[in-house]
Amino acid sequence: MRVITGTARGRALKTLDGLHTRPTAGKVKEAMFSILHFELEGRRVLDLFAGSGQLGIEALSRGARECVFVDNDRSAISIVRDNVKKCGFEAQSQIVQSDYAGYLKRGEKFDIILVDPPYADKLWKRTLEIAARFDTLNFGGIIVIESEADDALPERVDTLVRGRVYGYGRTKLTVYTRSEEEDADDGDISGQL
């Protein structure tokens, strides 16, 4: 697995062994960053469920100002640290060992949130609920969720509105933006946080 383009182009990244994490496939990663191409420069990025950190590192390589990498797995955090150092992005990176829900509830603001959770757990649902409830996405910001192609992601979760959906075989990318309307009662998802 390598950084596709930008200042760290071609750098090989470490990955976790075993089946616990599933790195984003190369063609899906290229597609994700084609979607974000004009959105990254100078932006603050959250790489949630970071795994190896490849998505956040790609964002930094392409001009993001800062990236926070969050994963609850100690081995993943160690690999993220190694990969960030290898690419020379220590000064622009914050690496946090935390579960995704606890981190989102801090209410920190981001311009771009990259969400690539374990497919089987459908954690994108709770991620959207918490991000909306705790106002995590800045106006004009973007959330990109990687999920299985047959997952039915909602049109709206409070102020988060689904945009385009891109299919890549058994995987899809779904884009959400923040609406300027405060319409918390209109969410398609309900559940306990």
pLDDT, one tens digit per residue, over 55-103 is: 999 999 999 999 999 999 999 999 999 999 999 999 999 999 999 999 9
Which domains are seen in the chain, by residue range?
Answer: 26-182 (3.40.50.150)
Widest distance between CA atoms in the chain: 46
pLDDT at 121: 82
Query: Residues in the chain with pLDDT < 50?
Result: 19, 183-192
Nearest one of 65, 66, 94, 80 to 21, comparing CA atoms: 80
**What percentage of the chain has pLDDT greater than the value 70?**
89
C-alpha–C-alpha distance, residues 161 and 147, integer Å: 17
Is this structure's pTM higher than 0.85?
Answer: yes
Average pLDDT taken over every residue of the chain: 89
The answer to whether residues 112 and 142 touch, using CB atoms and an 8 Å cutoff, is yes
